[in-house]
Amino acid sequence: MKQHDYAVIMAGGGGTRLWPVSRKNRPKQLLPLLGEQTLLQGTVARLADVFPAERILVVTVAPQVAEIQHQVPEIPAENYLIEPAPRGTASVVGLAATVLMKRDPEAVMAILPSDHFIRNGRLFQYVLTESFELARKGCLVTLGIAPLYPSTAFGYIEQGKPFEDNLKYPVYHVRRFTEKPDEKTAQAFLGSGEHSWNSGMFIWRADVIRDEIRRQMASLSSVLDEVQRTWGTAEQEQTLQSVWPGLKSETIDYGVMENADRVVVLPAGGLGWSDVGSWDSLFDVLLQDAGGNVTSAAQNLSLETHNTLIYGDNSDRLIVTIGMDDTVIVDTGDVLLVCKADQAQKVRDVVELLKKHEQERYL
């Protein structure tokens, strides 16, 4: 990466879609779902190959800072941007762009979730390098994922004409962003060959996105003006604390991207990407054994078992399966989940039920 290139990691999220492993106070990016590393550590490791640690920023909330510093000590303390309260990705992007511009007026930034899984880190790094080249030219680059199946769980990006002829990697003008489609529409998108999944990863110049926010999100922009005025002064913290809670929660996709100029999509295939949005989506990207199983339990014995995910976090416990197919088994200290894989999204219903019945200790 070049001198003015920065990576901004969004690490403030909560969410319980990987319940019971992810919990209210233990979001999935901070958990070792897939081996030794946590998703956050994996994200930082992928970036640290191509960015010096001084140019990797983390946006988070106060309660998560200590754990993040513990997990990725290489990130300098001054690179933490701490939101008083989470207010959606638009405000994260705005805050990061504002702070980076004070630090480096020529900053180009990638905005990246901390809780995604990417199996092919090298290809990702290459795609990122190409994206920064495009961003330097003033483009708002969205990283699209070439769809593997007609998912109804992702937003889609429809590509228009090629952006330029001579690029090493094909890039397109964006014709349209669409929200999560129904099954039939998803099938049509997949068949068209002109739609990518929206990964939520973007690359742009800090000044370009800041201008777009000014043009399209007036109230966020005026808050960012306040932040910019006081950042680096004694008032920095006080200003942030006073202006931030009043912000409306919005995503950068709908707040800015849909009506921005010079938006391009780089549809990446072969990344082995997953947003790890549910147990079955996690299963899709993991390498399976000969029986189609994925096992993270230290002690496991499976007979006649196929296409089954076995997650165990206790190295002394033996997990035995007999005759199981297409099942997700998640064994944690206080909760056991046994779930048919194609119904893994119902974990959300379970979480809602537990909330309703005030079973706080399991949330």
CB of 128 to a copy of itself, least distance (A): 37
- Among residues 137 and 340, whose Cβ is nearest to a copy of itself? 340
Place of tokens 């959606």: 88
CB of 150 to a copy of itself, least distance (A): 21
- Among residues 187 and 343, whose Cβ is nearest to a copy of itself? 343
- Among residues 220 and 329, whose Cβ is nearest to a copy of itself? 329
CB of 279 to a copy of itself, least distance (A): 10
Exposure letters 185-197 (e unless 16+ CB within 10 A, then b):
ebeebbeeeebbb
CB of 343 to a copy of itself, least distance (A): 4
Using DSSP's 3-state secondary structure scheme, residue 94 falls into helix
CB of 152 to a copy of itself, least distance (A): 18
- Among residues 37 and 343, whose Cβ is nearest to a copy of itself? 343
Task: Output the CA torsion sign for 187, 190, 191, 196.
Answer: positive
CB of 182 to a copy of itself, least distance (A): 22
- Among residues 184 and 317, whose Cβ is nearest to a copy of itself? 317
- Among residues 16 and 41, whose Cβ is nearest to a copy of itself? 16
CB of 312 to a copy of itself, least distance (A): 8
> Could you say which DSSP state residue 149 is in?
S
- Among residues 159 and 295, whose Cβ is nearest to a copy of itself? 295
Residue 81 contacts by C-beta under 8 Å, 6 or more apart in sequence? Answer: 57, 58, 59, 60, 95, 96, 99
- The CA distance from 112 to 118, in Å, is 12
CA distances in angstroms from 255 to 60, 92, 120, listed in the order given: 20, 12, 31
CA 352 to chain centre: 23
The residues of the shown chain that bind a copy of itself, judged by CB under 8 A, are: 20, 301, 303-304, 312, 316-324, 327, 329, 331, 334-340, 342-344, 346-347, 349-350, 353-354, 359, 362
φ and ψ at residue 324, rounded to 5 degrees: -95, 140
Q: Which two tokens stand for residue 174?
A: 């964006």
Q: Which two tokens stand for residue 55?
A: 């140019």
Residue 50 contacts by C-beta under 8 Å, 6 or more apart in sequence? Answer: 1, 125, 128, 129
- Among residues 237 and 342, whose Cβ is nearest to a copy of itself? 342
CA 22 to chain centre: 15
Q: Which two tokens stand for residue 265?
A: 């999509």
Cβ–Cβ < 8 Å for 283, 341: yes
CB of 296 to a copy of itself, least distance (A): 14
The angle formed by the CA atoms of residues 114, 120 and 122, to the nearest 5 degrees, is 95
CB of 148 to a copy of itself, least distance (A): 23
- Among residues 226 and 313, whose Cβ is nearest to a copy of itself? 313
| Cis-peptide, bond into residue 20, ω within 30° of zero | yes
Using DSSP's 3-state secondary structure scheme, residue 151 falls into coil
